[in-house]
Amino acid sequence: MKVLANDGLATTGIMALNKAGFEVILKTVAQEQLVDFINENEVDVLLVRSATKVRKDLIDACKSIKIIGRGGVGMDNIDVEYARSKGIKVINTPAASSHSVAELVFAHLFGMVRFLHDSNQNMPLEGDSKFKELKKAYAKGVELKGKTLGILGFGRIGQATAKIALGVGMKVVAFDPFIENATISLEFFDGQKVDFNIETISKEAVLEQADFISLHVPAQETYVIGTKEFDMMKTGAGIVNAARGGVIDEKALIKAIEEGKISNAALDVFENEPSPAINLLMNRNISLTPHIGAATQEAQDRIGEELASQIIEIMA
């Protein structure tokens, strides 16, 4: 049995698959060459992340594929239902990267409220000549403790983000059309545990109450946050998108920042990946990362282990 991990696979997954008798191919094949490579090598399992697209034409052209696996949560780069209609198993790893994404959200939040993303650019350039001016420019930070975090999308990643927020001392309000309430358990190093029951409220109520918004929603046909939603938010609120590019209207975001409605934003994902709009990249009020939400060693190890376990079980 051959497994093509076209977007890479952690050593933990490779070792587990090898031990079970699978041959793992760790070659990154260009999208336009993928059909030929799969057919020439009679690949049984295709593993991807967000870069490789698995559409109907590839599914129809590659008769050897029995499993398509997505290392991560969202599967918008795979024609899932079509693949399943052809008898192909489609798997993903919904729980593996939740904590890593949540930590990135808070890396951005902590950086935003203390202007670290801007300071880290200007200190190397002007720290020796304009120290006092920079000190004054970055002296209006705020604390996250006591603020309200609004979470849009209260699935695994949204709930992992809520855990950190509660630990920091924030109030959490959440919206999810499919979840009415969730118990968030904070587990501490000494074995103590505290449970918080959070009942979801309307999207409008979240936008109106939150000091900061964090998005954890799948790809949508329309924007989740646009001009209408920015108008509902508190003046001076902040927003973080570590979910999917295209769920925020980026033009409306820039306008909201320029008009002072939004104080700052953080983006890990973009409408035009891998070529984000230049006005986003150059805006000093936006903290930026290149789609690295799940890019921790721990998350990749969990993803590799989960994928390997599912493949071995299916093919047994």
Give me the active site residues, please.
244, 273, 291
Query: Could you tell me the CA-to-CA distances from 237 to 27, 217, 232 in Å, in that order?
Result: 44, 19, 10
Residue appearing with tokens 């991990």: 5
- Report d(CA 21, CA 139) in Å as an integer: 59
How many other CB atoms are found less than 10 A from the CB of residue 257? 20
Query: Could you tell me the CA-to-CA distances from 98 to 94, 115, 161, 184 in Å, in that order?
Result: 8, 26, 8, 14
Supply the DSSP symbol for 51.
Answer: S
Q: What count of Cα atoms within 13 Å lies in the side-chain half-sphere of residue 188?
A: 7
Please write down the HEC assignment for all residues of 70-138: ECCCCCCCECHHHHHHCCCEEEECCCCCHHHHHHHHHHHHHHHHCCHHHHHHHHHHHCCCCHHHHHHHC
First-to-final CA distance of the chain: 11
Q: What count of Cα atoms within 13 Å lies in the side-chain half-sphere of residue 258?
A: 11
Supply the DSSP symbol for 22.
Answer: P
**Nearest Cα to 6, choosing from 53, 66, 60?**
53
